[in-house]
Structure 1
Amino acid sequence: MPLDPSPLNSLGLPKPPSETRVVVAMSGGVDSSVVAAMLKEEGYDVVGVTLQLYDHGAALAKKGACCAGIDIHDARRVAEEMGFPHYVLDYENIFQEAVIEEFADSYLGGATPVPCIRCNERVKFKDLLETAKDLDADCMATGHYIQRKMGPNGAELHSATDSNRDQSYFLFSTTPEQLDFLRFPLGHLPSKEATRELAAKYGLAVADKPDSQDICFVPDGNYAGVIEKLRPGSAEPGEIVHADGRVLGQHNGVIHYTIGQRRGLGIGGLSEPLYVVRLDVDKKEVVVGPKEMLATRTIPVREINWLGDKPLTSRTEWHVAVKVRSTRPPREAIIRPISDTEAAVELITPEEGVSPGQACVFYDPDSSRIFGGGWIWRGY
């Protein structure tokens, strides 16, 4: 088959920007606004889309969240300033069913869920991506700090240049098919300051807008308060128990505790610092113990999305680096596949505070490439 003689544009497509339609997922923040403005200035046929994920009227009072009422207004304003169409899609029901309900059930099960990953996986990179295709887009661009690079076997997922802004932990479940259609124009930038400089260059009103904080539907980080609203009566009292069996106190609901927590346990007067080492939902027990009990070496992982060139099960072992929390650097590990979607991950150096419900993301130790990841699923 002869090679296509058409030169590739900046998005890697073989046609002029003016003939390339790009749907930009606009959250109303500075990052996605810069992406839209940048592509519009380059001459692309830009269409902005913002998702209304929950009641934006109530969200107006919530600062520092994404997809809230003020953010929809800001996204629309950027589109008007830059002169491209903008649509707001009501995804409240989809978001409720695909993200919020699972978040509540997972939390009640003693896990520490990461709903932002599910939102990317089940809403933004699934339903929104299909909407982009329905709009005859050639690709969809987002403001995520991650890189898409072409390798010998197709598109690869790579960490952002700025490790402080890298969002690979939240995007490990991006499939090869999605990666073919997605673009991440900010992943190569050296810093967030560079993004804000671009926003100022384009004269965007959001240039100095603060970054979103916490989970968008969890005001002030009060997870337990949200769970109690979603599942009334779920915060049942129980005992705080030492790992050696001693009852140390009472609690007013397992949902108020997370693995690794030390402060706010309500069991003062002890000679040693104690941490939450396990949550026993069936017994309504918060189990505490010394810090060394938090150390975990072997992690069972399931629902794996594998992005390597060869199948996960093509080897008995994969020597990689893994992240078990978004705020921690990748650590040396060995993946031992059980099936195409399940594996045991051995950490060369034990990690503290590994919790079911969190993600375990796989990295190439010799490059910036991401090999996918999965969900930590059993209690410790």
Structure 2
Amino acid sequence: MHDPKRFLLSLFDAALSAADPLQCVPPHLPVEPGRRTVLVGAGKASALMAQAIEKAWPHALEGLVVTRYGHAVPCERVEIVEAAHPVPDAAGEDAARRILDLAESLGEGDLLICAISGGGSSLLSLPAPGLTLADKQAVNKALLRSGAAIGEMNCLRKHLSAVKGGRLARAAYPARVHTILISDVPGDDPAVIASGPTVPDGTSLADARDILDRRGIDVPQAVRDALSDPANETPKPGDPVFAKCTSVMAARPLASLQAAADLARKVGIMPLILGDALEGESREVAQVMAGIARSIREHGLPVPAPCLLLSGGETTVTIRGEGTGGPNAEFALALAVALQGLDGVHAVACDTDGVDGAAEVAGAVIGPDTLAKALARGIDPRKALADNDAHGFFAALGDQIVPGPTLTNVNDFRAVLVS
């Protein structure tokens, strides 16, 4: 292939297009308006979701949506506010309180439309009674450093929140609640996306306490106390509240992988989708991918070259070093180290929201020359990996992918091209 990097970036663009809220949200709007229709939402894609709903909804509409700083878009009937992600701030707390107030103002015959996407857990941050924003910030920071899986994070978030884990639906009852989701989680479980504010919660306070113990996460005593208070248990499946709730999935990671696979077929490259729900440490997933790529190059198994290995999901990084590097950049660096310049293998790893970890960078691209370029600049790839400094590594090489806010979020996108 003449330009593997350009091809890999075109695959990423195809994945983003498949999850564009302006295209995927309107078909999932409810048919009938309410006596009063209110739109609320939270997440990195929620502002563009709100704009899409406004344009397609011919009836009266009001509401409030909270998104990440830098992710707002103009809306005429719905207020858009910005807050912090991944560690919540006072702006998110205020927005969550106002959204809860809007839900509680609804009654029989009214309709609450919820636009929910990844990132909503941090953005929709209203502490449970007895907790402060500082308590929740401490928990979030500890979770991010622990390497906890997204499901574990959300279990804790639900039980420390006044709005997550089905509590927003309970506040709106007896109004109808229609939730439109863009999935950023392995398995597309609505209860996990943004910690499921409008769906029943199958986890318990005991589960949350167990996660803290297993992960060795140090939290304020107030958090421990809250997780022992039965009043903080979330509404469960079978609760009458959810009889008036519906949820629809507007975009999901698998659809974006399939869009990339379709593009590969058009240029004569066989795609192999390895899954949309891969989890685990980024560097360990990279080791597996490197092994598959090497097998293809040396044995033509499991498929012959040229081929494209596609995967999604959400890998994690247990931070041990002092560098800056999110899960996708760390995957790319670990893959380059594992491949050791293997000829004919190029790859891209990006977060579809345009933000990898805490950096305003989507991810990175690698090729057979990645390690050689680094060594020529006096950069030690293994040291960068040990320091969790993948973003610094790829910034020095000019191989970062920086699209800016994409205004959608269907999780990690990884493509390994073997020619």
Output the TM-score relative to the length of structure 1.
0.29
Larger fraction in helix:
2
Output the TM-score relative to the length of structure 2.
0.27
Higher relative contact order (CA 8 A, sep 6+): 2
Larger fraction in strand:
1
